[in-house]
Structure 1
Amino acid sequence: MSRSRKAKKLPQEPIELVIEDLSHDGRGIAKWNEKVVFVQNALPGETVTAKLSKMNRKYNEAMMQEVLVASDDRVDPKCEYYEMCNGCTMMHLAEEKQIDFKFNALKSNFYKMAKAEPKEWIEPLTDDHWAYRRRARLSVKWVKAREAVLVGFREKNGRFVAKMDFCEVLEKPLADLIQPLAELFAQMDIKAFIPQIECSLGDDELSIIIRHMRPLTDPDFELLKAFGEEKGLMFFLQSKGPDTVKPLVPYGDRQLAFSLPHYGLNYHFLPNDFIQVNRKMNEKMIKQALAAMDLEANDVVLDLFCGLGNFTLPMAQTAAQVVGVEGDERLVERARHNAELNGLSVDFHCADLTKDHSNSAWFNSPYNKVLIDPPRSGAWEILPLIAATKAKTLVYVSCHPASLARDTDRLVNELGFTLEKAGVMDMFPHTSHVESMAIFSRP
């Protein structure tokens, strides 16, 4: 006869903890009853009181209640919603120490997973720490007891939507819409069936995708139409998967777009296309990558995981030939459009880069330089193919230090590359997200 296991009851009284270190996601690490405790908003060297929020077999989690002994690196968060909102996780840490944390995360991953260190560390790339996000996915929740709709990031406990009227890290046109959107959704008949929105800000246009679990009523449609006209934004509806995204009304020639002024380039994108969230850091990142590529007029370049051509088009302005490969057919279509828009000749292909492409037509060019910008999972499967090219330079743009370090181990210790340089880029200030770049060479 099976018996259900009762969940262990959490202690109600706060416990006192001494914080020893920071975890990879920016939480303080302490010990309690011979078990590790991860503590939200706590810093190394601090003594705090905290309330346990979750107890697991190997570790516990806790929410900090009070700082008894503060770290010299602690600062007062600028955002009034920071204590509950999980959109940012490191705003209590001084800005210059946040980038140190990210650098140490990259360095630690290189050492632990690749037993490697670059010949030279690149100075961290940074820019504005506030109002930097041009894209965001926000949760929406109808709270019947309050007769109100909440629009925002999730709370730090993950269960609820944070009550917020503004966001300090969203670009201002997006941040200013949080409260008006909450009031708009509260008037809709299907307010209980809108779980999230996805916001995108171009140079001149703003779009919002509304995920809805029930069809809009006629009054709902009129409310959205009037609001969009008043605010000058484009609404899109998504009833199921990404393929169901459609405009609320025809928008004619209106187009989401962003530019790279340094290169004189313009890009068109759709509301659910991937673009880099931080526009200023994106341009700095491209400049750094192209400097590392050291492109010449006779270079033949392979750009893997190329998206809509973020790196591809700037490289095509110098190199003899650039081939971009991407797994999302929709992004490949946008990349081709953007190349034509800018009068550039680029060869784009759609391919699953977890597969072997040694016999693919696009692989048969004499590449001497490669750039890759893979997802969080990294580029493990495609590394042997890169090694099979004639490329002597490889620039690796990473959004996850652990997968970069794992791939570095293979590149350096199996495939004959040397790790020349590496550094971090503060693409997401006030979060533990680590964006980085590594430059490899071989004889």
Structure 2
Amino acid sequence: MAQFFKEKPNKSKQLSAKLTLDVTQLDHLGAGIAQHQGKVVFVAGALPGERATVQLVEQKKSYAKAKLINIASPAPSRVKPHCQHYSQCGGCDLQHMDTQAQRDYKQAALVDLIAKLSSSEAIDAQMSAEAIIGEGWHYRRRARLATLLDKRSQRLQLGFRAGNSNQIVEINHCPVLAAPLSDLITPLAANLNQLKAKASIGHVELTQADNGHFVVIRVTKNLPNSDIRWLTGFAEKHQLNLLLQDDAGQLTQLYPQLTSTEQAVTLPFYHLAAESIRCSFTPGNFVQVNSAINQGMVDQAIEWLDPQPGERILDLFCGVGNFSLPLAKKAAHVVGVEGVPEMVEQAKQNAIDNNLDNVTFYHADLSADLSDQAWLGKIDKLLLDPARAGAYESLQWLQKMQPKKVVYVSCNPASLARDSSVLLANGYRIAQVGLVDMFPQTHHIESMVLFELSK
């Protein structure tokens, strides 16, 4: 007898009846954890110590996800979200928790993940460094706003992506963005809506630098002269550095007009005051968004590595020299390696601008075979500042490098824990672990770990 496949209904997405659950802790993504009929239930928006009314929205064999309906007994750490867009915007996910409680949760989650995933020794009090913390609000010096043209109203919306969605939440302010940038959102949106070619506007990048405020507008087509004049007038009124970026990534500066033909655009820069360093960067390329926390990280990296004259220090994933240049100031010879060619060139120029001739920069794919790289060899100390994917491939060359100390700057505890296993297997021990609260009001956990080669 022939059998025919018949698709079964997806029961895992069906809503349950309302349940009352006790939330006991948070997971590493900031969701509340409860138990129901032997399953772990994740409840976004719920806090430990709360009794919550929920509906199950997704069920798997060993866990379920639930939608928060109501909180019967709020936890002492619960606060009213500061932002009116919080319930829709996907940028922040812990505004309902007071700042100190956020830090306590992140510290506990960091230690727990490293211990579990790296099978390392327990993190004791002597190994826990003081957390690097700063202001909980208006700390972001950079943000990228998405745009959407409503086809019916022909109105251009400016905002952030909704959580787990491509939909855009239109905003008129952002309390984690630097105040001058937040104040710019509403007038900028109004200005963009006056353009004839507003359908050609892509994302908008806002940056607060030490040499002014920068607005970079991505355009898919050339704008008419009338739109150029309108945007230039807006930039002049608000004293902005205004640039357009085309599909090829080419930047054109509209305001202020450049007097030198040798200068393509005005680059934003920031200072590392404690080290008397100036770092320029190109809009669109990576830069740490929290300036105060970045300064704290640089200071701690220098303290932990303790660079000495004559030492050779390798900085992998070096960017535009954020750590390399301050380390070179301490008279050590520094080698910086980065995977983005444009950032390598900028790092070289930053070294020239800071009168540093004891730092050398190279371009290399740090996830590839590095055996033929001229810079790969024995070093005294190593600094790693990788993206979320971590530095696993680079650490396969530890035996060739043999650094006495390794400072790992991490934006992902999971990849840090995995990479810690490699270091521990190669004879290193964890000497210091410290939380870096780079992104208050979010679940994101950044950290710094010092590894030392066991004698």
Same fold, TM-score > 0.5, yes or no: yes
Given candidates 420, 443, 451, the residue that maps to 1:432 is 443
Q: RMSD in angstroms over aligned alpha carbons? A: 2.5
Structure 1: unaligned runs, 5 residues or longer: none
Deviation at 1:357, TM superposition (A): 2.3
Q: Quote the Cα distance in structure 2 between the aligned partners of 1:192 and 1:38.
A: 40
Deviation at 1:292, TM superposition (A): 0.2
Deviation at 1:25, TM superposition (A): 1.2
Q: Is the 8 A contact 1:149 1:191 kept in 2?
A: yes
Instruction: Answer yes or no: is 1:130 the counterpart of 2:137.
Output: yes
Given candidates 353, 373, 382, the residue that maps to 2:394 is 382
Q: Is the 8 A contact 1:356 1:385 kept in 2?
A: no
1:230-249 matched pairs, under 5 angstroms: 230-240=237-247, 243-248=249-254
Instruction: Answer yes or no: is 1:152 the counterpart of 2:163.
Output: no
Instruction: Answer yes or no: is 1:358 the counterpart of 2:371.
Output: yes
Change in CA separation of 1:307 and 1:12 when aligned onto 2, cut-off 3 Å: same
Deviation at 1:139, TM superposition (A): 1.8
Q: Quote the Cα distance in structure 2 between the aligned partners of 1:70 and 1:358.
A: 56
1:79 match: 83
TM-score w.r.t. the length of structure 1 is: 0.91
Deviation at 1:214, TM superposition (A): 4.4
1:208 match: 215
Q: Is the 8 A contact 1:199 1:208 kept in 2?
A: yes
Task: Say how many residue pairs are matched.
Answer: 440
Greater shift, 98-107 or 284-293, is seen at 98-107
Change in CA separation of 1:337 and 1:64 when aligned onto 2, cut-off 3 Å: same
1:111 match: 115
Letter in 2 for 1:297: P
1:217-296 matched pairs, under 5 angstroms: 217-240=224-247, 243-248=249-254, 251-252=257-258, 254-296=266-308
Instruction: Answer yes or no: is 1:441 the counterpart of 2:424.
Output: no
Structure 2: unaligned runs, 5 residues or longer: none
Q: Is the 8 A contact 1:301 1:319 kept in 2?
A: no
Change in CA separation of 1:308 and 1:202 when aligned onto 2, cut-off 3 Å: same
Given candidates 71, 76, 82, the residue that maps to 1:67 is 71
Given candidates 310, 314, 318, the residue that maps to 2:326 is 314
Q: Is the 8 A contact 1:142 1:186 kept in 2?
A: no
Letter in 1 for 2:392: W
Given candidates 350, 361, 372, the residue that maps to 1:348 is 361
Q: Quote the Cα distance in structure 2 between the aligned partners of 1:71 and 1:236.
A: 47
Q: Is the 8 A contact 2:267 2:283 kept in 1?
A: no
Change in CA separation of 1:211 and 1:50 when aligned onto 2, cut-off 3 Å: farther
Change in CA separation of 1:16 and 1:236 when aligned onto 2, cut-off 3 Å: farther
Change in CA separation of 1:296 and 1:26 when aligned onto 2, cut-off 3 Å: same
Deviation at 1:369, TM superposition (A): 1.1
Deviation at 1:63, TM superposition (A): 3.9
Change in CA separation of 1:58 and 1:244 when aligned onto 2, cut-off 3 Å: farther
TM-score w.r.t. the length of structure 2 is: 0.89
- Partner deviation per Cα, 1:113-145 (whole Å, 9 max, x = no partner): 111144611111101111100011222223355
Letter in 2 for 1:363: L
Given candidates 9, 22, 25, the residue that maps to 1:21 is 25
- Partner deviation per Cα, 1:226-272 (whole Å, 9 max, x = no partner): 2222222233333435x344434674263311111111111111111
Q: Is the 8 A contact 2:145 2:204 kept in 1?
A: yes
The SS at the match of 2:393 is helix
